[in-house]
Amino acid sequence: MPSRFQFERAVRSSELAPLSRLLALTVATWADVRTGVIPDHLQPSLTTLEESTGLVRASVRTHLDKLEAGGWLKRNRPSVAAARAVKARTKYKLLIPKGAEVPDSDGIELGQDVTDARAGDALDERGLGQEMPQARAGDALPLGQEMTVTRAGDALSSYLGPNGPKDVQPPRAAADDLPTRMLTKWWEQYGRQTAQGRTSVRAAIAAALENGIDPNLLWQALVRVGELSKPITGGTLQFALSELRKNTTGADVIPLAGGRRLSTADQRASAAMALAAELAAEDNQ
């Protein structure tokens, strides 16, 4: 198995298409620099690769297929059952195709081991990219080190914006919540034909779910609005929902085997769990 450095040099000098090259180098960011192995807990999901590269999911899948067919990656995919039950993910292995050129190292690759370096010492080629002990106020900052403090004892946690202090890294919404997953799935199909931003689409989805709309019914409405090339708003979703209701019959409860009936609240919870499981399984494949 090649080291991460060897893999990256081979990819950079290859004739891979630009998007395939981008995806290959992105996958490599989770690999160990010496062994090229991606630890199980760092294996990226499709959602992670989509967000990291800026590609839509269909493109991620297409270029993963091309990289695997070309001998650059090997994928060990879990079964659908394992993806749903234990959230098993696809495992990626970096490869270099037979005959591919692997240029020699220029000797200054980031992340190489360093045996001993102190703050203020000149940094040789071995130290670039290595994590160093936390610098003290007034010490020289070694190249490649992540600065964690500014003044002695002051954590670097905020900056002064126009309206006061703000977090350096604002908290991001969890990637596995239902509104985000519904947005991702919808965007894959209709994102190319809308001028609307992802944030506003997700906000409309989240608001609809908070108002108690059945997730499966909401998904049908999202598909309908997407087919009409309309923006996703509360108004367009209500229009689509009214169309769907005209074409369906039923009450607030649905019959089950043995004469039991499922309440609307139970139906919504079950539908949400089913849709979330379906989206999670698709992401892990």
Specify the pLDDT at position 63.
95
Specify the pLDDT at position 122.
46
| Most confident stretch, 8-17, 109-118, 120-129, 258-267 | 8-17
Query: Is the sign of the CA dihedral 9, 15, 17, 18 positive or negative?
Result: positive
Residue whose token pair is 């996703």: 232
Are 56 and 191 in contact, with CB atoms under 8 Å apart?
Answer: yes
Q: What is the mean pLDDT of residues 219-226?
A: 89
Percent of the chain with pLDDT over 70: 62
Phi-psi region of 231 (alpha: psi -120 to 50; beta: other; left: phi over 0): beta
Specify the pLDDT at position 238.
87
Residue whose token pair is 């989240």: 206
Q: What is the pLDDT of residues 42-68, one digit of tens each?
A: 999 889 999 999 999 999 999 999 999
**Diameter of the chain by CA atoms?**
79
- pTM for the full predicted model: 0.43
At CB < 8 A and 24+ separation, what contacts does 156-162 make?
none
Specify the pLDDT at position 111.
56
Query: Apex CA 242: angle with CA 240 and CA 248, to 5°?
Result: 105
Determine which of 6-20, 40-54, 115-129, 189-203 has the lowest per-residue pLDDT on average.
115-129
At CB < 8 A and 24+ separation, what contacts does 10-13 make?
10/96, 10/100, 10/101, 10/102, 10/103, 11/72, 12/103, 13/101, 13/102, 13/103
Q: What is the pLDDT of residues 93-110, one digit of tens each?
A: 999 999 899 888 876 666
Q: What is the mean pLDDT of residues 246-251?
A: 59
pLDDT mean across residues, the chain: 74
Query: Is the sign of the CA dihedral 53, 58, 62, 67 positive or negative?
Result: positive
Q: Is 126's pLDDT higher than 50?
A: no
Q: What is the pLDDT of residues 164-217, one digit of tens each?
A: 554 444 444 444 588 888 888 888 888 888 888 889 899 999 998 888 888 888
Q: Is 86's pLDDT higher than 90?
A: no
